[in-house]
Structure 1
């Protein structure tokens, strides 16, 4: 092989012609995984649908949140240095707002798709405590 042919072949390898495709299922599963991480829940507690949103990716997710123990005392306020006391935990609306930003940022970084609308539906909760079993 001549040096000119080798140089030409090297430039072809660097600029291969072709295409990449992400299937609907791959995009949906990616969005579900990113959402589960954003809400700190298991992947099985999230379902998603994706669709076109005026040229961007429109995302709708449903998340089954884990409920905190309702009968266990929880500190309501935590002190902030040089400031007013702040709630110890974020509200579900604050969690959803933060998760929406994370879904857009991480989903875009992973898939390369421009994510537009992100609808979040928080569905019934499940107890974070294991169920007690009684033996009679």
Structure 2
């Protein structure tokens, strides 16, 4: 090998050939976490399915809302639909910022009736 060939190898990190990949599960978990934050629920109350939306990331999320927020909406100026619209915008903005992927369609299915459980239980 000539000295010119060995000097060129590794001379600049930016010139290295390679690629980055985000695993499907990592993207799905990220979307679930962003969605949980947007709705103010636990991550376990959100499930996401990802698909192709004409070259963009299509997102389908199901959110289990606790009863108190649903019942309190009468005193809130926002309807559940308005809350979902605001959450959709947050999912797109934060999801894109975190993953770097272009998020297209975001379908949200709200399921309710899950009573909110206290986080800490004591056994006596």
TM, length-normalised to structure 1: 0.72
Gaps in structure 1 of 5+ consecutive residues: 77-87, 131-136
Distance in 2, Cα, partners of 1:65 & 1:94: 15
1:121 corresponding residue in structure 2: 109
String of CA shifts for 1:26-48, please: whole Å, max 9, x gaps. Answer: 11000000000000000000000
2:95 corresponding residue in structure 1: 107
Q: Structure 2 matches for 1:56-71, cutoff 5 A?
A: 56-68=56-68
String of CA shifts for 1:84-126, please: whole Å, max 9, x gaps. Answer: xxxx342110110000000000000011100000000001221
Distance 1:71 1:62, change over 3 A: closer
Asked whether the equivalents of residues 61 and 119 of structure 1 are also in contact (C-alpha less than 8 Å), the reply is: yes
String of CA shifts for 1:45-71, please: whole Å, max 9, x gaps. Answer: 000000111000000000000111888
Asked whether the equivalents of residues 48 and 60 of structure 1 are also in contact (C-alpha less than 8 Å), the reply is: yes
Distance in 1, Cα, partners of 2:103 & 2:95: 7
- Greater per-residue helix proportion: 2
Distance in 2, Cα, partners of 1:70 & 1:18: 48
Asked whether the equivalents of residues 69 and 129 of structure 1 are also in contact (C-alpha less than 8 Å), the reply is: no
Asked whether the equivalents of residues 67 and 126 of structure 1 are also in contact (C-alpha less than 8 Å), the reply is: yes
Structure 1 residue matching 2:19: 3-state secondary structure: coil
The structure with more radius of gyration: 1
Size of the alignment, in residue pairs? 114
1:90 corresponding residue in structure 2: 78
TM, length-normalised to structure 2: 0.79
1:17 corresponding residue in structure 2: 17
